[in-house]
A and B are shown apart, each in its own frame.
Chain A
Amino acid sequence: MAFLVGADCLDEMIASLRSNGRTVIGPAVRDGVITHDQIESASELPLGWTEDQDGGRYRLVPTGTDERFAFSSPSTSWKRFLIPERTLLLRARRSNGTVAVVEPEPEAPSVAFFGIRSCDLVALGILDRVFLDSDATDPTYAARRPDVFIVAVGCNRPGNTCFCASMNTGPTPTSGYDLVVRELHSEEGTEYLVDVGSERGADLLAGLASRPAHEGDLQRADRAHETAVASMGRELRQDYVPLAALDPDHPRWDDVAERCLACGNCTMVCPTCFCSTTEESTDLSGTEAERWRVWDSCFSLDFTHLHGGSVRTSTKSRYRQWLLHKLVTWQDQFDTSGCVGCGRCITWCPVGIDLTAEIAALAVPAAATDLGGRDV
């Protein structure tokens, strides 16, 4: 059963979550972008802001409205709150030749994700498969993830780089939340349709001023959903994906390698890229050692380093590894695509490489391209 609340209620939700001891993470304008950060009230939400996103382009643009969720994919994903950029794996001390190892207790901060969009929510489910459902459970992820209180938000204004509709991952959240909020904006003002996804979500909402939603409210939300689906900036044709994987020597791989800087931006902003490396260091006396896990990218040359050289030395092979892992081999490993259609890898690519365009080009057999096949 859905409820209708006013804008004040968002503030009360945040206050209530905070009074339960949770740190609330939500979208906020920081340094000229919308990102996810700790927020203390609804006044920090990006009221009146949307973005202009395109390949290699991101600009904040005022909406002139009082919408708080009129933006699309924030610059960073939520993964850093579950698999932080740096995690201490162990501490050790060596004295008189004896080594004592201490595994730090994983931090388990009590947090709420406020305003997570459908694509990013699906991404959390994908990370669950990697870190919780696989043969080995990751202690850091497992200590954080189950307790996270999730207030999801329906996406009304997909960006120019968005394609969640074609990935079947949005724009409206369908599961995996405690509460879901959908912004209903009109000339008369902005209200919020709230639906409950869990008992603790119901408990939170019960303490707040709301009225049961009318049929008209639900219809407005449905119309917003339809408008959002129709305004996706990009499409990733699912039938192209297996075709794109057929020819590892397709000339388009060389073509994209010419453009790709192998900078790894796409992997950093991707909500599901999970690769890491380990760094080990000692103090100056050599008696104390620490091992840290640090985000890594399959675009770096030393990612596949073995004695005698790297396995994937060319940018072509590294781009191919990334794209085909994300869309194809991920399916074999985790029974889901690794892509949720958030479009961040397009927006934050310094040269604007667009995976939807690459897939479309790769899906055309090389011989057909030579004969003047589909132009992309």
Chain B
Amino acid sequence: MVPHMYRVLSRRQDLADTVTLALAPIDGQIATPSIGQFNMLWAFGIGEAPISLAGVDDDVVTHTIRGVGAVTNALCAASEGDQIGVRGPYGTGWDLDGAMGRDILVVAGGLGLAPVRPIVTRLFARRADYGRAALLMGARDPESLLYRDELEAWRSRLDIEVEVTVDSAQRSWRGDVGVVTRLIDRAPVEAANTRAFVCGPEVMMRFCAQALVDLGVPPAEVFVSLERNMHCAVGHCGHCQLGSSFVCKDGPVLSWAEAEPLLRIRER
């Protein structure tokens, strides 16, 4: 339960309230994470917050953090060279390896692009292992698009379909306007042979998962990543309980077949 200390290698201000930190171990380090897992990041004297991995590169872990409370604001305020505690990795990951040869559909909303980013980068690294692939991205407006440079680079590739939609935009916007579920119907994949990975606000995931199932993707092949307020991350503190699951260890990644009954009941 004691964190390893990491050093901030680099800090990038993504959005007004959102920062990406690359962290390198100082002495000891965490076990190699799987994509989709999360770490507990510790701001000295303030506390811990569960943050999903936005990237893993050798020993360096990358996290994208939105400042919404005392801990995340302190993490966002870290400068290069500062020390941050890391313990983890925790929870279930995205099973991309199990979908080789199949079509891959990644759907992200807002900050939800961060946890699915390692899926996209791994997909590019092993592009030949998979069938057709698409990333569908939704955001409030063009200004709140996460990883915009990366999105533009991905969009220029010819081996993956990248669609971006925003809720509202100025005339200069050339992409779609509307909710991300609308992109699902025209995703260039064969639904019955697709594995889908969805991450975003819970309401967005609910609608997207339903749209994917309506399209013909089996519920067991739709994966979502749930957010709860993990304190311990090992199933002992009770905060992240959802039905019979502790989201910290039974999640955060669950198939829609598992998640749908859990989310069906309001305020469960």
Contacts and interface: CB of A to CB of B under 8 A. Distances in A.
Nearest to B4: A101
A90 interface: yes
Interface stretch (B92-100, B128-136, B168-176, B225-233): B225-233
Interface string A289-306: 101010010100001111
B228 A274 contact: no
A313 interface: yes
Given A134-B235, A135-B235, A89 B1 contact: yes
Given A135-B249, A280-B46, A311-B267, A275 B234 contact: no
A317 B47 contact: no
B243 interface: yes
- The DSSP consensus for interface residues of chain B is loop
Contact residue range for chain B? Answer: 35 or more
B231 A277 contact: yes
Given A312-B267, A314-B267, A278 B228 contact: no
B2 interface: yes
Nearest to A307: B68
Interface stretch (B54-62, B77-85, B112-120, B137-145): B77-85
Contacts of A139: 1
Contact residue range for chain A? Answer: 35 or more
A103 interface: yes
Contacts of A259: none
Contacts of B188: none
Contacts of B232: 276, 278
A89 B236 CA distance: 14
A110 interface: no
A248 interface: yes
Nearest to B90: A136
A134 B44 CA distance: 29
Given A314-B267, A317-B266, 11 more contacts: A103-B2, A136-B235, A275-B238, A278-B237, A280-B46, A306-B229, A307-B72, A311-B228, A311-B267, A312-B268, A321-B241
10 closest A-B pairs by beta carbon, nearest first, are A275-B238, A317-B267, A332-B244, A307-B68, A136-B234, A282-B45, A289-B45, A329-B244, A103-B2, A280-B47
23 contacts: A92-B44, A92-B45, A130-B236, A131-B236, A135-B234, A138-B236, A274-B238, A276-B236, A276-B238, A278-B237, A280-B47, A286-B45, A304-B239, A305-B229, A306-B227, A306-B229, A307-B69, A307-B72, A311-B268, A312-B268, A317-B266, A329-B244, A332-B244
